Structure 1
Amino acid sequence: MIIDTTFARELAADLLEINAVILRPNKPFIWACGWNSPIYCDNRLTLRQPHIRSKIAAKFSEFIIQEFSEIDVVTGTATAGIPHAAWIADKVNKPMAYVRAKPKSYGMGNQIEGGVAKGEKTVVIEDLVSTGGSAISVINALQFVGANVQALISIFNYGFDKSTKNFSMVKVPVFNLTDYTILVDVAVEKGFVTSNDLEHLANWRNNPETWPN
């Protein structure tokens, strides 16, 4: 679910302008999972843009204060969600934690760093949602220790059916600052792609595992 449609379009334009998102329907990227993709997203590039990262933190924080004011801790996903979670936690004056993909193999063997106690309410901050697998592993780790995960909030969501099904299984709502549908619309409007590319881009989102066949 998009938090604020006007903001979503503004942020989509920002991501395109700084090449945090690149659309290349006629020269696909290859993802680590082996999929051909007309889009590559690297939201870590927002970290070097103070005006963009600050507006991201401000919108996240505004939404959390409005909808989840009773949370006890802000949790980031390792690694890309960590800086955003830290800025947000500072703005909403809450403790911050982050969750690794798996427990450390040394020291205390922690998977959750910073600490989230049983019964504490938290929201999870993620920079990018594709299939939802990495975010769900974070949610599972939090739920395992008894935390109450109120929501996952992301910067960008591809909107795959698979991720929708995955999040419904863990019963955690997902909110996004912007998403693929809005970004493609803005990309056409701003001239990053043409209207002739729309069919290719829509087909990929609907069938990412087999596209472009």
Structure 2
Amino acid sequence: MTTSSAPAGLAARLAETACVTAPFKLATGSQLDSYFDEYRLASDPALLRDTATAMAALVPDSAEVLAGVELGGVPLVVALSAATGLPAVFLRRQPKRYGSRRQIEGATVDGRRAVLVDDVVRSGGQLLTMARTLRMVGAPVTDALCVLERPLGGRMMLADHRVTLHALLTEADLPAPRAGECT
């Protein structure tokens, strides 16, 4: 586990606002008793601003564009873009079926060093898929940011594909008794 990159008190505020004790079903079919609700984070303007400000310190100097992963990463990337002055793009899991038919919306990414942004990283599969999508259009991706990292192998899997994960918090950083409860 990494040491928290969050300023004092931010982990407690995030846990209080976004850690929810209620049944939650993952895409894999697994059932959780509690989870990290990125919508509660995104709907609290002060908390979203403070989280983005803290995450701005994690953005590599080489970053040229920030790429928010649908859906949890979108409000984060907007706030992080405002905090850093870097342009943002928005990544869909699949290309839009109508209208623009794009998978990548927002700023131009061709040839620009992109940093992925998401709320929670578990296995890292979604970030890896998005890194591949950006790489296919010519955007180098070597870094990803998240608010919360769960110890489920995501960091190692991303590293195997040349993507370094920068987490604001890990599960262990959440204040007791909630540590281990927020997934």
Q: TM-score, normalised by structure 1?
A: 0.74
Cα separation, partners in 2 of 1:93 and 1:164, compared to 1, 3 Å: closer
The Cα of 1:73 is off from its aligned counterpart by 1.1
Cα separation, partners in 2 of 1:70 and 1:171, compared to 1, 3 Å: closer
Distance 1:82 1:45 in 2: 14
Q: Which structure 1 segments of 5+ residues have no match? A: 194-200, 206-213
Determine the structure 2 residue equivalent to 1:114. 106
The Cα of 1:157 is off from its aligned counterpart by 1.1
Contact residue 5 and residue 167 of structure 2 kept, 8 A: no
Distance 1:88 1:6 in 2: 15
Determine the structure 1 residue equivalent to 2:28. 33
Are 2:182 and 1:187 equivalent residues in the alignment?
no
Pairing of 1:47-196 with structure 2 (within 5 A):
47-64=42-59, 68-161=60-153, 163-183=154-174, 186-188=175-177, 192=178
Determine the structure 1 residue equivalent to 2:20. 22
Q: What amino acid is aligned across from residue 34 of structure 1 in structure 2? A: G
Q: Which structure 2 segments of 5+ residues have no match? A: none
How many percent of aligned residue pairs carry the same amino acid?
24
Per-residue CA deviation, residues 187-210 of structure 1 (Å, 9 max, x unaligned), is 22xxx58xxxxxxx59xx9xxxxx
Distance 1:15 1:174 in 2: 20
CA RMSD of aligned residues (A): 2.5
Distance 1:6 1:170 in 2: 23
Contact residue 19 and residue 36 of structure 2 kept, 8 A: yes
Contact residue 131 and residue 160 of structure 1 kept, 8 A: yes
The Cα of 1:69 is off from its aligned counterpart by 2.4
Higher strand share: 2
Task: Give the counterpart of 1:46 among 21, 29, 41.
Answer: 41
Q: What amino acid is aligned across from residue 158 of structure 2 in structure 1? A: F
Distance 1:166 1:6 in 2: 21
Determine the structure 1 residue equivalent to 2:10. 11
Contact residue 58 and residue 166 of structure 2 kept, 8 A: no
The Cα of 1:39 is off from its aligned counterpart by 3.0
The Cα of 1:171 is off from its aligned counterpart by 1.0
State the aligned residue count: 182
Distance 1:30 1:70 in 2: 37
Determine the structure 2 residue equivalent to 1:196. none
The Cα of 1:38 is off from its aligned counterpart by 4.0
Q: Which has the larger radius of gyration?
A: 1
